Copies of this chain bind each other. A is one copy, B any other.
Amino acid sequence: MTDGILNGLRIVEGSAFVAIPLAGMTLAQMGAEVIRFDRIGGGLDAGRWPLAPSGQSLFWAGMNKGKKSVAVDMKHPRGKELISQIITAPGEDAGLFLTNLRVRGWMDYETLSAARPDLCMVTLTGDRHGRPQVDYTVNPALGIPHLTGPEGSEAPVAHALPAWDLMAGQMAVSAMLAIERHRLRTGQGQEVEFSLKDAAAAAIGHLGMIGDATLNGDARGKAGNALYGAYGQDFLCADGKRVMVIGLTDRQWRGIVKLTQTHEAMAGIKTRAGESLSDEGARWRHRAAITQALTPWFAARPASQAGQEMDAAGLTWSQFRSPAEAVREDADLTPDNPMFSQLHQPGLGTFAVPGSPLNFARFERETPQAAPMLGAHTEEVLADVAGLASGEIGQLFDAGVVKGPHPVEQAA
């Protein structure tokens, strides 16, 4: 990263899995120097799926782009000291630490801040009781799988996206920038702590879902792929492809009726329903009848033609694709989109790699950097950040307390 908006900032990351690695990478793609430390051989997420055909983790490569990697024996007393030194190393724009490792004692804020009282630390936990939680446990507890899946079906359906982790990762970025801002203005550091479950629980509250469940019970239920509370539905086209069309706003709704020439059918629904479909709630209540009226239009044309007509009419729509179709057919997921670069990564393969989605007017878009090999920056960071002399660094390597670039250890 040569010229990003966070240039000069140094952040140390002790992490695994999604949220905190994503937070660190997001900061790295905004120009910060991000140093991730791991145990020798790799952390808990070193082999996380998806994998490349070689067996190496595409996930790890995706989550650690543009970071520096330090590999340390974290059970060795000298290893713990080294990590503490790296976290608390001097520098006006340093002393920032992101973690979800739940290591008690030497990695606590109280202990670390003894060496650097203005330390800024973001700690993500599982739940407010300190128990581990993952996206796959938080989501069922909050009731989202109860609302997902075909109308009328009973079984809960968990989403395939680690949505809560993605959101929490971005919250960790905000939290870090907020405490660093406070330090810039006052000189004071602090810890900010939050849990994945609290972040998710707050979000469903913000969306009105806690109020809804409290006041209306489980009236909502499942609704297939329908847009909740207004109109939006998926349709099969003549070629078997499926599209989603949105009638959330009144303007979008009128556009759908106009394009599909269904004024008469909609007037009939209005008469039978006794309420105007310009009310979004009425569109939601009568969505089955609306969908029935719209179905022939989509069934009569292939998705490509439907799409052209919907584009020309200014509708909001998209096509359902498998992931492989998406990367093949949607230019927004290819280097045609300046956010992506086609990168060859040794051991992984060649594919489109995203940089930051944020376009800062005063900074050029950065080309995304590949993830480092585990331990690739051990020597550099010990010298430049921890300030160790080369003789001492050599001894640490010889004693196996740290390790240079090496592949992930595969499980037995």
CB-CB < 8 A to A182: which residues of B? 5, 362
**A175 CB–B CB distance under 8 Å:** yes
A192 at the interface (CB under 8 A from B): yes
> Which of the candidate stretches A69-77, A165-173, A257-265, A388-396 sits at the interface with the other chain?
A165-173
Chain B residue contacts of A281, Cβ below 8 A: 47, 49, 51
Q: Quick one: given A322-B218, A351-B214, are A316 and B148 in contact (CB under 8 Å)?
A: no
Q: Nearest residue in B to A278 (C-beta to C-beta)?
A: B411
Compute how far the CA of A327 lies from the CA of B161 in the bound complex, rounded to whole angstroms: 23
Q: Does A385 contact B (CB under 8 A)?
A: no
- A361 and B355 CA atoms in complex are apart in Å by 33
Which of A33-41, A240-248, A373-381 forms contacts with chain B?
Answer: A240-248
Which residues of the partner chain B approach A353 to less than 8 Å between Cβ atoms? 205, 210-211
**A146 CB-CB contact with B under 8 Å:** yes
Digit string of A127-156 for contact with B (CB within 8 Å is 1, else 0)? 110011110111011111111111000011
Tallying the copies of this chain within the complex gives 2
Contact with B along A350-368 (1 / 0, CB 8 A): 1111111111111000000
Say yes or no: is A62 at the interface (Cβ < 8 Å to chain B).
yes
Residues of chain B lying within 8 A (CB to CB) of residue A246: 134, 136-137
Q: Say whether A216 faces chain B, with CB atoms less than 8 Å apart.
A: yes
Interface residues of A in 61-84 (CB under 8 A from B): 61-63, 65
- Nearest-neighbour CB distance to chain B for A207, whole angstroms, equals 6
Would A351 and B215 count as touching, CB distance under 8 A? yes
In this assembly, does A397 line the interface, its C-beta being within 8 Å of a C-beta of chain B? no
Q: In the assembled complex, which residues on chain B have CB atoms less than 8 Å from the CB atom of A242?
A: 140, 156
B58 pairs with A211, CB closer than 8 A: yes
Q: In whole angstroms, how far apart are the Cα atoms of A143 and B178 in the complex?
A: 34
With A22-B203, A62-B211 known, 17 other A-B pairs at CB within 8 A are A26-B171, A48-B229, A49-B208, A50-B207, A50-B208, A52-B215, A137-B318, A141-B330, A142-B323, A148-B161, A156-B242, A158-B234, A160-B228, A191-B361, A193-B359, A214-B324, A279-B411
